[in-house]
Amino acid sequence: MNIQPISYQSTYSQQIYLNSANAQIQLNGTKKSNVTFFFNDVITISKDAIEMRMELVNAQIPVSWYLINSSNNQFATSTNNDATFITWTLPVGNYNANTFISMFQTYMGSAFTITFNSTLNTFALVYNTGAWSIQDVGCNSIFSIIGFQSGLRYHSIGTTIQTPFSVNFGASFNLANIDSKANGTVSTISSVPISTIQGGYIFFTTILQISKAYFVIMKCQV
């Protein structure tokens, strides 16, 4: 049996307004920046519906988070041939390469030195006493921000460890959909660059973005 393409057009539309303060689940307490909404009593699907789509039309998002936060501010070092590792937790905050260097030097003390290569956009980290290594710590790792590959351990050449990749102090975030019918699969609806200063607002509008922020919830063919 050949299945023919179905020609149809939208016959019903509905707008839903969401406020993080009113979410059903608030995963990080009073911060209310990681929340979940349920649409059980809001969206209904007709039994003869062919396709249903949801589109993010616009959003106003306060820039009130930190680039380096409790989810990405750790790494571990060893100065005794990997016999033991010390886990370091860097102060939360918004940094660029230069302010990160200042913070790192203050926090790590005189035993460590860090320099920035503005041509390659990389860091060189030095343990002034001798050979050492730096290691990823898993889910709270800072590796991807400061130019290391996640999940690896790096050993010094002499006293220096050079980051193999560019540092990443630029900022963007993804609008994501979690598909409850596909074992919680997460897919990106749209990637939103952050060009607003801390304390300002991001005004996201679908028609202004390169990628259209919609996804198919349900589709049937007969």
List all residues 6 or more positions away from 35 whose beta carbon is below 8 Å from its beta carbon. 20, 23, 25, 26, 27
Question: φ, ψ for residue 195 (rounded to 5)?
Answer: -120, 10
pTM: 0.65
Tens-binned pLDDT, residue by residue, of the chain (222 aa): 555 555 555 667 778 888 888 888 888 777 777 788 887 777 777 777 777 776 777 778 787 778 898 889 999 999 999 999 999 999 999 899 999 999 999 999 999 999 999 999 999 999 999 999 999 999 899 999 999 999 999 999 999 999 999 999 876 565 655 554 555 555 665 666 666 666 788 777 765 444 444 444 444 443
Distance CA 114, CA 100 (A): 10
